[in-house]
Structure 1
Amino acid sequence: MRAEFRAGERVRVRPGDPAGHNRAPRYVRGQVGRIVECQGSWELADEVAAGVAEPRVEPVYTVAFTAGDLWGEGGHQVTVDLWESYIERVREDGT
């Protein structure tokens, strides 16, 4: 599978609390970050945990968030590795 996002792009983590296993931490759901790099493609952990016989393989990205955006304080960055289906592109107007 070809990686849809490139380093430096702004992305939003899809909000919500899906049923079953999900590897997107709650504290980043709905938050905007920047792609640091693509880590390659891996089986979607949600489907592996659910026992899907042939889980989807998706690119996994390291996404950086500012601590201030996540928690209202802190001058450092927090990075999280996220599957492609967990994120969406942020347009120029911020939506």
Structure 2
Amino acid sequence: MSESEQPAYVPGDLVRTYRHDPPHHTRLPRYARGKLGVVVEPEGRAPLADVRAQGRDDAPVEMIYAVRFAARELWGEGGHDVVLDLSESYLRKAGPGDER
């Protein structure tokens, strides 16, 4: 794997999903937007599904990450975790004030 292909996030990184509501298909579920999770593992690279769903062939290829969220973070209740496969462009590194 070349340096440009190295994952931006590693297992254990605290990330927050972007809160956005695009006017087109997105694989970032509404219930997970703006939420705090932990990277479980990078899963490989794939074309961004949001662009592919528009019938375009110019989708950027991004790293996909398994990200674990506490059910309480997503829905306000529940004692279990949920793991979602999310594209790199849906995530940002959590900063000060983002801790649980």
> What residue ranges of structure 1 are gaps of 5+ in the alignment?
none
Q: Under a length normalisation based on structure 2, what TM-score does the superposition of the two structures give? A: 0.88
| Aligned-residue RMSD, C-alpha | 1.3
Q: Under a length normalisation based on structure 1, what TM-score does the superposition of the two structures give? A: 0.93
Task: Please state how far the C-alpha of 1:3 moved relative to its aligned partner.
Answer: 1.2
Give the partner amino acid of 2:82.
Answer: V
Corresponding position of 1:69: 73
Mapped pair 1:5 → 2:4: no
> What residue ranges of structure 2 are gaps of 5+ in the alignment?
none
Runs of 4 or more off by more than 6 Å in structure 1?
none
Using the alignment, how far apart are the partners of 1:21 and 1:72 within structure 2?
A: 25
Count of matched residue positions in the alignment of Structure 1 and Structure 2: 95
Corresponding position of 1:35: 39
After superposition, the C-alpha distances for 1:4-38 in whole angstroms (9 at most, x for unaligned) are 00000000000021121100000000000000001
Identical pairs, percent: 42
Matches within 5 A, 1:1-95: 1-94=5-98
